[in-house]
């Protein structure tokens, strides 16, 4: 399935395109080894079934928990380098290069759609939710997992310091300022909680379930039905 690529790669793809071979290592280090646990809990929370689409699958992190446990699985990402790593890890899984805002699938093709740590990177959250709605079958479900800033308290201060003194300088070592700004801003600005619920409902979904926070609100998960 070939899709015409955009004139230039968005910042949110370029950064992964350049760091694909180190992505698993970096995400493991900056999450203190927690990322895999979060991904496993997210899959358990959504309970994927039937034909499953993993949007912005990256290096195939969710595939570790999905492959062999669902009857049909496809991963999609816009970064060819990330997909190369995913294909090396899971040669049996079909991985497609495509844009989350213009999914190269017919309407009503999937029973479950998952988006892990990626929705905040898309140019337009509402457009991408509408695309998810379109490719889901009626009654199909979607799951989203995103990083979050804890709302208040001591823990928020700790997370702010972590970003200021560790994550941002770490990103600056190898990335341009616009990339660093994007990575930080996309976490701070993500419309979590009730705001996200409203956006999801506006896109046509019902039964929006806000899952428990993982690691004291550092990660939030959502599940909703078409």
Give SS3 for 19. Answer: helix
Q: Which two tokens stand for residue 127?
A: 């457009």
User: For residues 117 and 224, which CB has a smaller minimum distance to ligand SAM in the complex?
Assistant: 117
Radius of gyration of the chain (CA): 17
Q: Which of 41, 51, 58, 159 binds ligand SAM (CB under 6 A)?
A: 58
d(CA 149, CA 162): 11
d(CA 50, CA 13): 29
Q: Is position 122 an interface residue for ligand SAM (rule: CB under 6 A)?
A: yes
Residues 127-156 that bind ligand SAM (CB under 6 A): none
Q: Are 9 and 179 in contact (CB under 8 A)?
A: no
Q: Which of 19, 118, 175, 186 binds ligand SAM (CB under 6 A)?
A: 118
- HSE-up (13 A, CA, CB side) for residue 112: 23
User: For residues 77 and 111, which CB has a smaller minimum distance to ligand SAM in the complex?
Assistant: 77
Q: Is position 43 an interface residue for ligand SAM (rule: CB under 6 A)?
A: no
**Span near ligand SAM by CB under 6 A; candidates 8-16, 156-164, 195-203, 212-220:** 8-16
- HSE-up (13 A, CA, CB side) for residue 65: 21
User: For residues 189 and 194, which CB has a smaller minimum distance to ligand SAM in the complex?
Assistant: 189
Residues forming contacts to ligand SAM in the complex (CB under 6 A) are 12-13, 16, 39, 56-58, 61, 77-79, 82, 99-101, 116-118, 121-122
């Amino acid at each position: 399935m070939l899709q015409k690529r955009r004139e230039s790669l968005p910042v949110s793809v370029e950064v992964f395109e350049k760091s694909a071979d180190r992505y698993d290592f970096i995400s493991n280090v900056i999450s203190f080894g927690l990322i895999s646990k979060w991904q496993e809990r997210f899959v358990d929370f959504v309970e994927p079934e039937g034909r499953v689409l993993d949007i912005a699958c990256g290096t195939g992190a969710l595939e570790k928990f999905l492959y062999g446990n669902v009857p049909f699985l496809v991963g999609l990402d816009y970064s060819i380098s990330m997909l190369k790593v995913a294909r090396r890890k899971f040669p049996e899984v079909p991985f497609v290069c495509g844009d989350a805002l213009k999914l190269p699938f017919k309407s009503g093709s999937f029973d479950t759609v998952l988006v892990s740590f990626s929705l905040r990177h898309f140019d337009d959250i509402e457009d991408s939710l509408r695309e998810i709605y379109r490719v889901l079958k009626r009654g199909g479900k979607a799951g989203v997992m995103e990083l979050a800033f804890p709302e208040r308290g001591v823990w928020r201060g700790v997370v702010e310091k972590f970003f200021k003194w560790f994550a941002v300088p770490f990103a600056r070592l190898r990335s341009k300022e616009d990339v660093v700004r994007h990575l930080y801003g996309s976490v701070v600005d993500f419309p979590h909680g009730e705001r996200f619920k409203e956006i999801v409902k506006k896109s046509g979904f019902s039964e929006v379930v806000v899952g428990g926070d993982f690691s004291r609100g550092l990660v939030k998960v959502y599940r909703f039905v078409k």
